[in-house]
A = this chain, B = another copy of it.
Amino acid sequence: MDAFMQAAFDEALKGYEAGGVPIGSVIVHQGKIIGRGHNQRMQNGSPILHGEMAALEDAGRQSASVYRDSVIYTTLSPCSMCAGAIELYGFPKVVVGENRNFLGQEQRLRDAGVEVSVLQDQQCIELMARFIREHPEVWNEDIGE
């Protein structure tokens, strides 16, 4: 697995082991991870800290020039909130672990000029599928269903 996707997956796994929604993300600026995080719905009762949002929060305040020279990695296809955040800050590229368990707003990102690369990584697919099987109600809540 790509080293940065591995780091995002490690975040997802940390989330799963803590009883949370196993979606992780890292933000990479010029080859270095500047933010990382995972979904905090279960652990912190947060409806906004999806994986990507947690990584953004961890990276803290950054200028537009940093985001525009960064890549965001996420284990699962980004929902409308996370896609909107990626669009707001002008990331040129998103690397997605998989979109089999959930297809987010990849097309909208592409329409906005963002490069979207989907790895269909087996580890990401299996961990997410396992969580959805074990906690369908939490998963539905996480995607507003």
Contacts and interface: CB of A to CB of B under 8 A. Distances in A.
A31 interface: no
A45 B63 CA distance: 12
A84 interface: yes
Interface residues of A, number: 32
A79 B83 CA distance: 12
A104 to B, nearest CB: 10
A67 interface: yes
Interface in A24-81: 41, 45-48, 53, 56-57, 59-64, 67, 79-81
Interface of A: 41, 45-48, 53, 56-57, 59-64, 67, 79-85, 87-90, 105, 140-141, 143-145
29 contacts: A45-B60, A45-B61, A46-B57, A46-B60, A46-B61, A47-B56, A47-B59, A47-B62, A47-B89, A48-B48, A48-B53, A63-B141, A64-B141, A64-B144, A64-B145, A67-B144, A79-B84, A79-B88, A80-B84, A80-B85, A80-B88, A81-B81, A81-B84, A81-B85, A84-B85, A84-B87, A88-B143, A88-B144, A89-B144
